[in-house]
Structure 1
Amino acid sequence: MEYKLAFGLFLFLSISSVVNGRLCYSCSYIENEIKKDYECVTSPANVTTAKTVSCPDDGYCFTQTQYHRDALKVRSITRGCGRQVDLPCGRNCCSTDSAWSTCLSECKANNALCNNQDKTPTVGPRGGSTSLSLCTWSMTLLIVSSLAFK
């Protein structure tokens, strides 16, 4: 009887800890790394090394992406849970320096795995969509404006 009670308590605590937190994708991609997981950029659910991590109720799922400034190409991406260091532009925005454009997006939606957006840089519609992601649009504007005012 005590065994069943202990097992029931363990099961209840396991389920309640998952229900109380949100799940976030956790994966990374770094250009020119021997083991590449480019799917982390496009579809984190398909990354073989990706994990889902439980994020506390006050935590944020995040995606931080770094692009080559002069070419629409991903240099690195990190997805996970936790507050990141603000970019010079703040949060949920893109910042550009002399070499890179870095975008940070956070989500705190009640639904699980909210940091699943495709971060492939584009200059036009793809996949039947006629809209660009906010980060990609911001990055494109920053690149165009920096080239126009040189």
Structure 2
Amino acid sequence: MSKIKNIFQHSPISPLFIAESITKHSSKTEIGAHQIFLGQIRADKIDDKTVKAIEYTAYEDLALNQMTEIREEIFAKYDITCMHIHHSLGIVNAGEICLFVFTSSKHRKEATLACNEVVERIKKELPIWGKEIFEDETHQWKINQ
């Protein structure tokens, strides 16, 4: 089994961090395609209330072990060069980034398929929960879609 990589950070994911991640790959000339997914908090209206933030919590040890397994399966299934995953914990405000998935490969199809599968599996399989916080300070647990 691979070394467990921490995917969590206790803050929103900054645009600067995303840009720096992309920049670091410009020297890797064997890569021909990158696929990036950015999950951003929406100011949804639910029952006449507006979401101002989501507070993420996770069963971190279990999530990291499961993510390690998913990562190994994705590398075995797709011919990708690298994969980077970052998920926020704590409060992330509307308009901020909470999930950053970045896959790279020689060709676009592999990068795209791998990235899409990683995002779907994170949402379905990892013990990560989001509590929607409304402008009136009430809250409710979010249902993943």
**Structures share a fold, TM > 0.5?**
no
In terms of fraction of residues, the more helix-rich structure is: 2
Higher relative contact order (CA 8 A, sep 6+): 2
Q: Give the TM-score, by structure 1 length.
A: 0.26
